[in-house]
Amino acid sequence: MSMYDELDLLEQAELEAHEVAGSMEFASDVDRRKFVFLSLATAAATTFGFGAKTLAQPGGAGAGGGRGAQTPPPPPVPLENGEPISWTFQPYPGGTGVLLEKTYAEKGVAAFKRQPFAWSATPGAFRLAPWGTAALPASDEDIAFLPAYRLGAAIKAGKLTSVGLTKIYLDRLKRLNPTLLCAVTIMEEQGMADAAKMDAEIKAGKYRGPLHGIPWGVKDLFAVKGTPTTWGAQDFENRIIDEDSEVVVRLRNAGAVLIAKLSTGQFAQGGNWFRGGTKNPWNLTQSSSGSSAGPGSATAAACVAFGIGTETSGSIVSPATTCGISALRPTFGRVSRAGGMVLAWSMDRVGPMTRTAEDAAIVFNVIHGGDAKDPGSLTMPFHFDSNIDFAKLRFGMRRQNAQNPDAVYAAFLDKMKALGAKPVEMGDPPSVAGSQGGINVESAAAFDSYVQFKAKQLGIDMATMLTTYGGRGGGGGGGRGADGAPAGAAGAPGAGDGRGG
């Protein structure tokens, strides 16, 4: 029996951390595997706000290993953001999602075949109305607010060029961004060059699909070659990751024209980044909400035809609700996260942020599917029917809350009923104290390398900080610390304004 077996998890971690602090001067000198465990154990215990009794292991040691003669510890192992943690190990390279797709293909079964696109009536096709015959609005502003699928139809019909459309959106970005703070980097030169290429392809008879020539923006958590990827943090303002994220590659292959890296709250927390807070274009006194603040604001203001956001805990849904756009938070694993910042391995998702449901479906149809670079990804069928009978739908309605005033709630409910949909009132989802703990623990691992770097840069002894503050941390946006400290105190910061992750 270990001397620590009768202690709860928090007490174990703190006692072990004292021993580490007593023999090591700086965190950079500590056996990284051991130190990270102690940090995460303390974070987990303080986040959940209770002391979980640990299971005794016969003949084993408590947290951190046994006493007595030991072999020298292994050298520190840097845990970089984006490096899969141990529980994501997949025996098949690329993950089981890629294995499933390969197996089906070898058997000649097209279970995961991507839905084809057609402007006309084609059985089984992703069909939209043939808007290419419709006249375009007279003003650039009205053109900018058109759905992406209507813009795509106009480009295909030769009524609009990608260069002309890209210039409209770039002009809006440059004019509105100083107020909205929705874009970190405006990619004017590259965007115009790509738009010219798309126009040349149309003239040559090459058509890539409904997103051919459509300008868009990506949340600045995703790497793009030759362009800074900041994660909303001033430390990374000029950092360039020399690769293209998978979602960027797929949209480029579909003909979409990337014109901006859109703002995110620092490290995907809230709506504030190193130049300020991103604003809701319909109410400049209000944050657009985070952390996909930029895609929400830029799409609502028609600075881009659509955006790509991410969600760990509300970061697609919240900006979409705040800014009044249509967005899709996909099921976990439906879209590859390769090349993007990791906040929580088990919860991060990538999804489209658009102005119409049809646009969300078009973009999702391009970006979804398994990717060997993301072991958590998989391919499953996706079918969109724009002619669904609304009267056959049931929709859940949460009971009244402060964010939905009575008049708005009632008007929306009346409208849905008038369209034939059947509302089903639902209570609030169950609340679990400390439910943010999983995100906190996973993000602690994801940012280990950065935290260690900053500790050395600032001359901070992290082992001492662990023992001094570890027992007083709040639960980063949920629950209370072990001693009743407010959420977000000391040990784990809260989510800032709006939603975190």
User: Which positions are annotated as active-site residues?
Assistant: 219, 291, 315
Nearest to 363 by CA among 38, 78, 117, 1: 117
The residue with tokens 């009632």 is 410
Would you tell me the crossing angle of helices 32-48 and 448-458 to the nearest 10 degrees?
100
- Do 366 and 211 touch, CB atoms closer than 8 A? yes
Nearest to 292 by CA among 243, 328, 258: 328
Name residue 257's beta-bridge partners: 215
Would you tell me the crossing angle of helices 162-180 and 293-300 to the nearest 10 degrees?
120
Q: How far apart are CA 44 and CA 210, in angstroms?
A: 46
DSSP type of residue 65: -
Can you give the three-state secondary structure of 438-487, one letter per residue?
Answer: HHHHHHHHHCHHHHHHHHHHHCCCHHHHHHHHHHHCCCCCCCCCCCCCCC
Question: Reduced to 3 states, what is the DSSP secondary structure of residue 100?
Answer: helix
**85 C-beta neighbours (distance < 10 Å), count:** 14
Q: How far apart are CA 109 and CA 104, in angstroms?
A: 5
Q: What is the largest CA-CA distance in the chain?
A: 82
Query: Taken in order 401, 402, 406, 409, is the CA torsion positive or negative?
Result: negative
Q: How far apart are CA 396 and CA 422, in angstroms?
A: 9
- Do 256 and 155 touch, CB atoms closer than 8 A? no
- Classify residue 270 as left (phi > 0), alpha (psi -120 to 50) or beta: left
- Do 397 and 117 touch, CB atoms closer than 8 A? no
Encoded amino acid at 317, one letter: V
